[in-house]
Amino acid sequence: MAVFEYSALNPKGRKVSGIVDADSLSVAREKLRAQQLFPVAISLITGHSPKTGRFRFNLERFPVFSGITSPEIAMVTRLMATLLSAGFPLVRAVATVAGQTRSRALHKILSRIKDAIEEGSSFADALTPFPHVFSPVYVNMVAAGESSGTLEIVLERLADVTEKKDETRKKIQASLAYPLVMALIGCLVLVILLTYIVPGIIQIFSDMNQVLPLPTLILIRISDFFVMFWWLLILIPVLTGAGVHFLRKTPKGRLMIDRMLICLPVTGNLIQKLITARFTRTLGSLLENGIPMLTALKISRSIASNQAVSDLIESAAHRVEQGQELGRILSESRYFPKLAAQMIQVGEKSGEMEKMLTKTAELYDRDVQAAIAAATALIEPVIILVMGVVVGLIIMAVCLPIVEINQFLGI
pLDDT confidence of residue 62: 45
The CATH number of the domain holding residue 34 is 3.10.20
- State the chain's mean pLDDT as an integer: 81
- Sign, Cα dihedral of 41, 42, 43, 49: negative
- Structural domains of the chain, count: 3
Say yes or no: 230 and 367 in one domain.
yes
Q: Cα–Cα distance between 137 and 300 in angstroms, integer?
A: 7
Q: 323 versus 285: which is more confidently predicted?
A: 323
pLDDT confidence of residue 3: 66
**Mean pLDDT within 309-323:** 90
pLDDT confidence of residue 234: 84
pLDDT confidence of residue 356: 93
| pLDDT tens, position by position, 36-58 | 777 777 777 644 433 333 334 44
What is the share, in percent, of the chain residues with pLDDT greater than 90? Answer: 8
What is the share, in percent, of the chain residues with pLDDT greater than 70? Answer: 90
pLDDT confidence of residue 411: 53
Q: 355 versus 32: which is more confidently predicted?
A: 355
pLDDT confidence of residue 45: 60
pLDDT confidence of residue 410: 58
pLDDT confidence of residue 67: 62
Own/partner contacts of 154-161, CB < 8 Å, gap of 24 or more, are 154/289, 155/77, 155/78, 155/80, 155/81, 155/84, 156/78, 156/81, 157/285, 157/288, 157/289, 158/77, 158/285, 159/74, 159/75, 159/77, 159/78, 159/81, 161/281, 161/282, 161/285
pLDDT confidence of residue 398: 80
Q: Cα–Cα distance between 401 and 399 in angstroms, integer?
A: 6
Say yes or no: 140 and 288 in one domain.
no
Q: Cα–Cα distance between 168 and 162 in angstroms, integer?
A: 10
Q: Which amino acid is it at 272? A: Q
pLDDT band at residue 346 under the 50/70/90 scheme: very high
pLDDT band at residue 319 under the 50/70/90 scheme: very high
Say yes or no: 87 and 126 in one domain.
yes
Say yes or no: 152 and 166 in one domain.
no
Q: Cα–Cα distance between 116 and 251 in angstroms, integer?
A: 36
Say yes or no: 148 and 242 in one domain.
no
pLDDT band at residue 343 under the 50/70/90 scheme: very high
15-22 and 38-44: which strand pairing?
unpaired
| 88: containing domain | 67-161
Q: Cα 69 to chain center, whole Å?
A: 10
Say yes or no: 175 and 82 in one domain.
no
Q: 174 versus 242: which is more confidently predicted?
A: 242
Cα–Cα nearest to 128, from 149, 115, 142, 118: 142
Say yes or no: 152 and 278 in one domain.
no
pLDDT of residue 387 exceeding 80, the answer is yes
Is residue 62 in a domain? no
Angle between helices 267-288 and 307-321 (to 10 degrees): 40
pLDDT of residue 75 exceeding 80, the answer is yes
pLDDT band at residue 342 under the 50/70/90 scheme: very high
3-state secondary structure (DSSP) of residue 28: helix
pLDDT confidence of residue 137: 76
**Mean pLDDT within 19-45:** 76
Q: 42 versus 107: which is more confidently predicted?
A: 107
Say yes or no: 115 and 194 in one domain.
no
Report yes or no: 219 and 394 within 8 Å, Cβ to Cβ: yes
Say yes or no: 144 and 206 in one domain.
no
CB atoms within 10 A of CB 267: 12
- Helix, strand, coil share (%) of the chain residues, nearest 5: 75, 5, 20
pLDDT of residue 61 exceeding 50, the answer is no
Domain-terminating residue out of 34, 57, 80: 57
Say yes or no: 80 and 23 in one domain.
no
**Mean pLDDT within 122-127:** 89
Say yes or no: 157 and 289 in one domain.
no
pLDDT of residue 261 exceeding 60, the answer is yes
The CATH number of the domain holding residue 98 is 1.20.81.30
Is residue 319 in a domain? yes
Residue 196 DSSP one-character state: I
Is residue 227 in a domain? yes
Q: Cα–Cα distance between 411 and 404 in angstroms, integer?
A: 10
Residue 197 DSSP one-character state: I
Which of 88-97, 170-179, 198-207, 215-224 shows the lowest mean pLDDT across its residues? 198-207
**Mean pLDDT within 48-74:** 54
- Distances from the Cα of 156 to the Cαs of 109, 136, 365, in angstroms? 20, 17, 20
- Cα end-to-end distance, the chain, whole Å: 90
Say yes or no: 75 and 175 in one domain.
no
pLDDT confidence of residue 360: 92
Q: What is the DSSP string of 58-85?
A: -GGGSHHHH---HHHHHHHHHHHHHHHH
- Highest mean pLDDT pick, 20-24, 55-59, 276-280, 286-290: 276-280
pLDDT band at residue 359 under the 50/70/90 scheme: very high
